[in-house]
């Protein structure tokens, strides 16, 4: 029943392989780390399924072992079943899910509703952006999956945890509004100072060279390489012709 994660047996916590179910009308009984008998009746476990997410940043000199131990102990106290473990080691949290393969697999497990709770060491392990975090929490909420954050003591399966979730949404909206306001203020200040916004214009000499190359029948990409300009600039000049 127990499996190994990266060559190590996960101690003290029962592991249930994703997709394992008792047959309809049957009862499957297993024993957890507290020597308690856990029953799975009609294919539905009587304990919540939790997926652990672990991450340490690039060049941090740390490992995920401390996070793993703390979350396993928390799962034992809450009588949760650890069904999966996802670890991004040496990966920054500033990137999206496409840059964190384990986090991407976690999101897929959430989408397939293979788990009931996501457990992480701290909020910054899930990501560095409040907007990304709230987006992830929204995905969890849509699938009815709860979140447990060990350091912050946040458990969205409780009333206080759900209230904190709503507060995070408010702060994320505030952050988005502040970013938009700063961008608009910066653009207005640049215009007031007479600065030209957007990409710089090509010099007259480069534009003449582009026109000559195009007139000689040379393609757009080759013209861009020969003139030392961007392909989009060549395309604009060609369209004007």
Q: How far is CA 19 from CA 22, 81, 171, 174, 236, in A?
A: 10, 13, 37, 40, 55
Q: Output the DSSP codes for 49-68.
A: EEEEEEEE-TT----SHHHH
Residue pair 13/2 in contact (Cβ under 8 Å)? The answer is no
Annotation marks residue 57 as catalytic: yes
d(CA 167, CA 36): 38
Q: What contacts 11, CB < 8 A, 6 or more positions away?
A: 72
Helix 130-143 to helix 159-192 angle (10° resolution) is 140
Residue pair 10/72 in contact (Cβ under 8 Å)? The answer is yes
Q: Where are the beta strands (DSSP E) in the chain?
A: 4-5, 8-9, 27-31, 37-41, 44-45, 49-56, 81-89, 117-120, 146-149, 154-155
Catalytic-labelled residue, pool 35, 39, 57, 60: 57
Between CA 8 and CA 14, with CA 10 as vertex, the angle to 5 degrees is 150
d(CA 87, CA 42): 32
Q: Which residues are catalytic?
A: 57
């Amino acid at each position: 029943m127990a499996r190994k994660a990266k060559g190590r047996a996960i101690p003290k916590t029962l592991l249930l392989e994703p997709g394992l179910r008792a047959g309809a009308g049957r009862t499957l009984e297993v024993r957890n780390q507290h020597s308690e008998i856990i029953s799975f009746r009609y294919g539905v476990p009587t304990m919540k399924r939790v997926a652990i997410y672990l991450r340490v940043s690039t060049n941090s000199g740390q490992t995920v072992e401390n996070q793993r131990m703390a979350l396993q102990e928390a799962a034992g106290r809450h009588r949760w079943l650890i069904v999966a473990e996802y670890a991004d080691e040496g990966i920054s949290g500033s990137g999206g899910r496409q840059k964190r393969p384990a986090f991407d697999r976690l999101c897929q497990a959430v989408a397939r509703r293979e788990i009931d709770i996501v457990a992480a060491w701290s909020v910054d392990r899930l990501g560095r952006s409040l907007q990304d975090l709230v987006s992830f929490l929204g995905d969890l909420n849509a699938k009815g999956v709860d979140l447990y954050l060990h350091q912050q003591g946040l458990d969205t399966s409780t009333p206080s945890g759900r209230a904190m979730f709503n507060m995070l949404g408010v702060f994320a909206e505030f952050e988005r509004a502040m970013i938009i306001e700063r961008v608009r203020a910066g653009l207005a200040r640049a215009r007031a100072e007479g600065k030209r916004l957007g990409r710089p214009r090509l010099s007259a000499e480069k534009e003449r060279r582009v026109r000559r190359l195009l007139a000689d029948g040379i393609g757009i990409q080759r013209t861009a390489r020969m003139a030392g300009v961007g392909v989009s600039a060549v395309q604009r000049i060609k369209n004007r012709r």
